[in-house]
A = this chain, B = another copy of it.
Amino acid sequence: MSLRHAVLGLLADRPASGYDLLKTFAISLGNVWSATQSQVYTELGRLADSGQVTVTAEGARGRKEYAITESGRAELHRWLTRVEPNRTPRNDTLLRVFFLGLLKPAEAEAFMRREAETAAAHHKELAALTTVAAGQDSFSAHGRLALEWGLRVTAAQHEWALWAEQQIVDRAAGGGGGGGHGGGDEDEDVPAQG
């Protein structure tokens, strides 16, 4: 449902063709909201039908350039200011974490280690983007806010994965499969959050 607004938002910056939008998704916006080809073209068609965008030019190779209309801008503004962001949680990795007890400790440990590596790699990718995305326009500036979110969250994820891996190791050593788990050096149940 938000794809519509992603497209509107991009067109609010400047007119573009479906192909152009696809490139923007691939480069920057896709880090935050991904879209496939068919989705973008379908959505452009729908938006044109409802009068929120119009075709402003037809170029070579059948290229159609779309621009946002007043009606589209109004809808975009309404969405930005009046519609609650959708926070439906849907985290594939965490879902698996819930069920890690079904694996052997070694498997579960490997899972968390892979997660740690993935988070670190993702963080690195984003850090590389930082040096590139240095535009002074508003779109770039706000993109950097989103980028910073990514940096912080991937960093937190990395540390969490390392911590969780250790928890699993401890539990395997202390508790085994059965009921209670051996006490001892387990003060550090949950780290302080400030």
A191 to B149 alpha-carbon distance, docked (Å)? 11
A151 contact set on B, CB distance < 8 A: 190, 193
| A38 within 8 A of partner (CB) | no
- Can you name 24 A-B pairs with beta carbons within 8 Å? A6-B95, A9-B95, A31-B89, A32-B91, A32-B94, A32-B98, A33-B91, A76-B102, A80-B107, A85-B92, A85-B96, A86-B92, A87-B92, A97-B142, A97-B149, A98-B143, A99-B142, A101-B142, A123-B193, A145-B164, A149-B160, A152-B160, A155-B193, A156-B156
A91 contact set on B, CB distance < 8 A: 32-33
A88 & B34 in contact (Cβ 8 Å cutoff): yes
State which of A14-22, A43-51, A53-61, A133-141 sits at the interface with chain B.
A133-141
Q: How large is the interface on A (under 10, 10 to 19, 20 to 34, 35 or more residues)?
A: 35 or more
A159 to B118 alpha-carbon distance, docked (Å)? 23
A139 contact set on B, CB distance < 8 A: 98, 101
Scoring A residues 67 to 83 as 1 if CB is less than 8 Å from chain B, else 0, what string do you get?
Answer: 00000000011011100
| A42 within 8 A of partner (CB) | no
Scoring A residues 143 to 170 as 1 if CB is less than 8 Å from chain B, else 0, what string do you get?
Answer: 1111011011101110110011001000
